[in-house]
Amino acid sequence: MSLSGFVLRNAFRNKRRLTLSVSSVAASLFLLVMLQVALRELTNPINDEGSSLRIIVRNKVSLAQPLPARQLQVLERIPGIVAVTPFTFYDGLYKGDEKFTSFAQFAVDPARTLLLITDAKVPREQLDAWLADRTSCILGQMTADRYGLKVGDRMRFTGQIYPCELDLRIAGIYHGTADDRNLMFHHKYLDESLGNPGTVGAWWVRAATVAEAPLVTDRINKAFANSSAEVRAESERAFVLGFVSMWANIKILIGGISIVVVFALLLVTVSTMSMAIRERFRELAILKAIGFRRRELFAFILAESFGLSMLGAILGAGGAWVLFHSIDITKLSHGLFLIFEVTPHMVGLAFSVAALLGFVAALAPMLTVARTSVVEGLRTLD
């Protein structure tokens, strides 16, 4: 038998308590990792080359304020812009969804949009069909799969922002973009449904090169400065992050829950370790009597506490990693979550928390052992 073997024997002496303690640590760390994954999903927008080239131009006052459609002519003349399309978030409730439709619908100019979503893969004949029929749309593969839709099917929406209903025919189904969930349809159709108000929600612009994108952003902002409809142009990524920044409370909430989880975990581990040491107080006194020094007893306690926490971390954080890597969460959530993955940083965080817990939980029992003399310990024997 070695000293490490002795520690293991002690750790496994009460298997039920060990199982429950490790399970609670594992479940808490699993939850912690999941919260981090969710936070990342909410706050980390897709960042590919296409999104670096694309620019969103919205009303400087507010995203809810429309922009005049006549701005298109000005935008087209700005150097560095290779494509521009109206880009209006329709926010319709799909027939069948009761409260929430998880995919976005955008009114765009189809011909212009094709220059913006070059990564989208759609059969040529489907694109031609979309261009030809202004009540048609193209739909992301994920959403099509989720609802079991195919080319030729019709989709009916009730506007949540705009007071109109739309009946769209699926002309094509695309895939290959970073987010294959969205639906795009003719802006003209929306205009007609609303009585041609002469406005758009925003502009979607593509810069010629990634290097030129910031310059283009600057030029757009300047072009409409001091006009009746000043704009705010920003990269697609910055736009999404700005959107997320409005969720500050959610971030605080998730952060708060994470802290509570860690604190609860600390209480569980401290309680477990205290119980484990309390019931072994006699034996620790005997060990002291036969020559074990404080540092060896500290090492036993620390090793056991650390081992318990780490085993929990392996099961919890490791379990989360295995689970989220082995299942297609995008498919399972019907496209609601796209980048639901456990990063090495999150696993590292969970293991760091576990290590800290292991250490902190060992402190109180170590202090008790240090304070108790051999005789005091032996007195508890008889």
Partner 1 sequence: MTDEPIVAIHELSKVYQQGDTKIIALDSITLDIAPAEFLVLMGPSGSGKSTLLHIIAGVDRPTSGEVHVQGKDITRLNESELADWRNHNVGFVFQTFNLIPVLTAYENVELPLLLTRLPGRERRRLVTTALELVGLADRMKHLPRQMSGGQEQRVAIARALVTDPSLIVADEPTGNLDSHSAQEVLGILQQLSREMRKTVILVTHDPKAAAYGSRQVHLEKGELTN
- Smallest distance, partner 1 to C-beta of residue 272, A: 17
Q: Please, what is the minimum distance in Å from the beta carbon of residue 260 to partner 1? A: 35
Q: How far is CA 15 from the centre of its chain?
A: 37
Q: How far is the CB of 381 from partner 1 (least distance, A)?
A: 5
Least distance between partner 1 and beta carbon 296 (Å): 7
- The CB density around residue 70, as the number of other CB atoms within 10 Å, is 11
Quick one: which segment of 1-9, 132-140, 186-194, 203-211 binds partner 1 (CB under 8 A)? 1-9
- State whether residue 172 is helix, strand or coil: strand
* Nearest alpha carbon to residue 33 among 366, 345, 374: 345
Question: What amino acid occupies position 49?
Answer: E
Q: Which stretch binds partner 1 (CB under 8 A): 42-50, 192-200, 259-267, 292-300?
A: 292-300
The piece of 24-32, 88-96, 231-239, 370-378 that touches partner 1 (CB under 8 A) is 370-378
Q: 40-57 as b/e, with b when 16 or more CB fall inside 10 Å?
A: bbeeebeeeebbbbbbbb
DSSP code of 177? S
Q: Across-strand partners of 86? A: 203
Is 17 among the residues that bind partner 1 (CB under 8 A)? no
Name the one range near partner 1 by CB under 8 A: 3-11, 50-58, 99-107, 112-120.
3-11
Binding of residue 382 to partner 1 (CB under 8 A): yes
Question: In sequence order, what are the beta bridge partners of 52?
Answer: none
Q: Which is nearer to partner 1, 3 or 322 (CB)?
A: 3
Q: Is the CB of 13 or the CB of 345 nearer to partner 1?
A: 13
Angle at 46 between CA 246 and CA 56, to 5 degrees: 65
Closest distance to partner 1 from the beta carbon of 290 (Å): 5
Smallest CA-to-CA distance from 127 within 90, 189, 191, 171 is with 171
Rounded distance between C-alpha atoms, residue 49 and residue 85, angstroms: 19
Which of the residues 229 through 288 are near partner 1 (CB under 8 A)?
A: 282-283, 286-288
Interacting residue with partner 1 among 292, 338, 349, 372 (CB under 8 A): 292
Beta carbon of residue 382, minimum distance to partner 1 (angstroms, whole number)? 6
Residues with Cβ within 8 Å of 338's Cβ and at least 6 positions away in sequence, in order, are 41, 46, 178, 179, 181, 330
- Residue ranges binding partner 1 (CB under 8 A): 1-3, 6, 9-10, 12-13, 282-283, 286-296, 373-375, 378, 381-382
